[in-house]
Amino acid sequence: MSKKLHVLVVLALLVGLVGAFAQPAAAQQPVKELTILWAEWDPATYLAELMKDYEKEAGVKVTVKQEPWGSFLDVVSKEWAAKGTAFDLVVGDSQWLGQAASEGHYVELTDFLTETGLKDTVTEATLKYYAEYPTGSGRYWAFPTEGDANGMAYRKDLFEDPDEMAAFKEKYGYDLGVPKTWAELMDIAKFFTRPDENLYGVAIYTQKDYDAITMGFQNVMWGFGGEWADENNDPRGAINNEGAVQALEFYRELWTCCAPPGSSNIFFPEVNNYFISGQVAMGMNYFAFFPALANPATNPYAESTGYFAMPAGPTGERFAALGGQGMSINAYLPPERIEAAKGLIKWFGREDVQAKWAQLGGYTCNKKVLASPEFLEVAPFNAAFAESMEMVKDFWNVPVYAQLLEVAQRELHTYVVGGEGTAKETLDRIAEEHYKILSAAGLIKEATQ
């Protein structure tokens, strides 16, 4: 019995030794396949299509794994927790940057993006929000991949109907058209809200689960002069300033007066559903979800659907909440896979590849491609998208963003949907709680001095 045990131990040691020596041998093998993880949506399918070209050129097969939006962050987080290598690259949300960079889940790409010149090929806003952490540090952790922002879709058949135009002019004293200000958007939304005809003015984000209502609100808030925090990162006096209070009152009024009943917990699929079913005259959504509205197979109003960038607030300024993602490399990969992943990003950043990416339906962040007439004309919403990318703004990308977001989501939903309290009380509570979270994390400048 003991002899058998000895034999087993020796065998186990041999297997271990073989394994230990075999690993470096395998490491010298060229990488022939890579895996990109992304959320399950159309752009990921376009990326998978694009990656066939990379396989032809570089001989590396790229698999684009798609995870449903609801579990996307969970899957990535579990991989981070396990220091796993289930994916080589991830096209992650901009707000993950702080956590992923400071906790070492992403490979730093500052030198790589600078040396290859890729840093200069993308728009400043996308580099700042999709790649840089800390903000203003010049340190990059991702390559801007899918530019995205909130925009609006509208029913041109209603907006351009002569009877509607005349009635609107008579009622409001100016021409019915794409709203230039939030005040005009409110007028139009009220004008088209006709419950008896099952028609409502606008569908806006209200979902509480992740970041929907916060995203929707900040489109308005920035235009009214509100901010999540001041230059010292102190939220007090910024998120609860007069402009922010007015913006929140506006957002609640817009939802109460003009959103379809039952839209108390909605995000991008529901907004599109309301639009496609003909229940709303306007719909707020990410540009990445507009292809479904431009497709006659999915939207009976596709031919008469127009798109516009977010209107201006009383300050005269216009902002659009940033969506989109950057491509990052998993820091737990062996060196040869990290190099292979960099090779893929280098290829992906090439102008001709970016042009093809845009042609397939991806939202390129490449400056030249964005400005090209081909891009502006290839889809009916691309002009509004290009305009929006000049005015995008994002919320926090710090490691405690999830705590900040939880507070904002809860409080905004309580006021906007639940109708409890006042806008000022709501924003005061957010300011106070955000201050506590940011102070505890040492992210407020005065607090650290």
Residue ranges binding another protein (CB under 8 A)? 73-74, 77, 80-81, 83, 95-96, 99, 103-105, 195-196, 198, 207-210, 260-262, 264-265, 279, 401-403, 405-406, 410-411, 413-415, 417-420
**Least distance to another protein from the beta carbon of 419, Å?**
8
The Cα–Cα gap between 80 and 272 comes to 33
3-class secondary structure, 202: strand
Q: Which amino acid is at 243?
A: G
Tokens found for residue 80: 């981070």
**Least distance to another protein from the beta carbon of 195, Å?**
3
Beta carbons of 94 and 126 less than 8 angstroms apart: no
The Cα–Cα gap between 214 and 95 comes to 13
3-class secondary structure, 338: helix
**Least distance to another protein from the beta carbon of 413, Å?**
5
Element (H, E) at 353: helix 351-360
* CB nearer to another protein: pick between 256 and 295: 256
Tokens found for residue 267: 């995000």
Q: Which amino acid is at 352?
A: D
**Least distance to another protein from the beta carbon of 444, Å?**
20
Three-state secondary structure readout of 23-77: HHHHHCCCCCEEEEEEECCHHHHHHHHHHHHHHHHHCCEEEEEEECHHHHHHHHH
**Residue 99 contacts by C-beta under 8 Å, 6 or more apart in sequence?**
105, 399, 401
C-alpha Rg value of the chain to the nearest Å: 25
3-class secondary structure, 231: coil
Short-list 99, 47, 39, CA closest to 72? 39
* CB nearer to another protein: pick between 54 and 268: 268
Short-list 410, 393, 420, CA closest to 149? 393
**Least distance to another protein from the beta carbon of 26, Å?**
26
**Least distance to another protein from the beta carbon of 341, Å?**
20
* CB nearer to another protein: pick between 50 and 398: 398
3-class secondary structure, 325: strand
* CB nearer to another protein: pick between 188 and 398: 398
* C-alpha of 166 from chain center: 38
* CB nearer to another protein: pick between 300 and 421: 421
The Cα–Cα gap between 232 and 16 comes to 54
Tokens found for residue 162: 């002569």
The Cα–Cα gap between 43 and 145 comes to 10
* CB nearer to another protein: pick between 210 and 347: 210
* CB nearer to another protein: pick between 104 and 334: 104
* CB nearer to another protein: pick between 39 and 122: 39
Short-list 161, 413, 416, CA closest to 281? 161
Beta carbons of 195 and 280 less than 8 angstroms apart: no
* CB nearer to another protein: pick between 121 and 206: 206
* CB nearer to another protein: pick between 70 and 334: 70
* CB nearer to another protein: pick between 143 and 401: 401
**Least distance to another protein from the beta carbon of 96, Å?**
8
**Least distance to another protein from the beta carbon of 326, Å?**
17
**Least distance to another protein from the beta carbon of 398, Å?**
12
**Residue 265 contacts by C-beta under 8 Å, 6 or more apart in sequence?**
206, 207, 208, 209, 417
Cis geometry, peptide bond prior to residue 179 (ω within 30 degrees of 0): no
**Least distance to another protein from the beta carbon of 415, Å?**
7
Tokens found for residue 349: 């950043």
**Least distance to another protein from the beta carbon of 102, Å?**
9
